[in-house]
């Protein structure tokens, strides 16, 4: 078996077949990482992402599981370690967004979203805390809506505020392990998750919020993830707002 010294660094990216997740996978692979592309429901799409990586000369495997299920995610970590010998970076992009006002929000929808965004983030962070190798990084995903406070986003923003709290505390709990823990908080980003259900005028209005006067792209976010996964060893216990200057 190869050793860590003569093997590429290894990243497990949850939601790796989605909009931002796909860009993160491709960017980390371009930086030389061997990547485990995680999916929850669409294996074919994850396999497509992995094939793009391998076609470009990189290394990738596909792993599945419900992020909120600790047994399934432990198996995903096991599969990553079996393929590549260990895990150095975990990027948890997996999440769902359901919008609506607090007054009339469906509590079953709230439970479903919080199961993925809160429990799922905790399960992935817990496993990562146990299994990421020294010199590694754990990167969660929040949202700029925790600052923007737009009406309709309260249930979603609340779930992501929990990710921020988890990030800040876990970074300090891992003292002495040489593992950084940070979160990325994108602003309006042109992904299927963000664009779903929004009319053209709403999208244009949101695009104008940033001084740069455009929506973010998945590649913009992946650039920040790559920074935290690689050279940013002195950035720890932080939430990085990646939103073009909105807030």
- 38's tokens: 């995680």
> How crowded is the C-beta side of 122, counted as CA atoms within 13 Å?
11
Instruction: Give the number of other Cβ atoms within 10 Å of residue 63's Cβ.
Output: 25
Residue 63, SS3 per DSSP: strand
Q: Which residues are catalytic?
A: 156
Q: Which residues contact 31 (CB under 8 A, 6 or more apart)?
A: 226, 229, 230
CA distance 41 to 50: 15
In this structure, the number of other CB atoms found within 10 A of the CB of residue 175 comes to 8
């Amino acid at each position: 078996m190869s050793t860590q010294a003569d093997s590429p660094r290894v990243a497990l990216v949850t939601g790796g077949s989605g909009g931002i997740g796909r860009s993160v996978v491709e960017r980390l692979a371009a930086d030389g990482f061997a990547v485990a592309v995680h999916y929850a429901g669409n294996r074919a799409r994850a396999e497509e992402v992995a094939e793009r990586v391998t076609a470009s000369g990189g290394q990738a495997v596909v792993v599945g599981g419900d992020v909120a299920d600790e047994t399934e995610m432990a198996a995903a970590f096991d599969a990553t370690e079996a393929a590549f010998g260990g895990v150095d970076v975990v990027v948890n992009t997996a999440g769902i967004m359901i919008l609506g006002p607090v007054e009339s929000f469906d509590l079953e929808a709230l439970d479903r979203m919080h199961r993925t965004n809160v429990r799922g983030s905790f399960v992935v962070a817990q496993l990562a805390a146990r299994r990421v190798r020294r010199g590694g990084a754990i990167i969660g995903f929040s949202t700029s809506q925790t600052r923007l406070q737009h009406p309709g986003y309260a249930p979603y923003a609340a779930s992501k505020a929990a990710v921020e709290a988890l990030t800040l505390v876990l970074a300090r709990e891992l003292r002495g392990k040489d593992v950084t823990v940070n979160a990325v908080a994108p602003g309006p980003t042109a992904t299927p998750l963000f664009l779903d259900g929004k009319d053209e005028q709403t999208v244009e209005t949101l695009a104008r919020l940033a001084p740069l006067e455009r929506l973010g792209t998945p590649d913009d976010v992946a650039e920040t993830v790559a920074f935290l996964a690689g050279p940013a060893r002195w950035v720890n216990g932080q939430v990085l707002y990646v939103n073009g200057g909105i807030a």
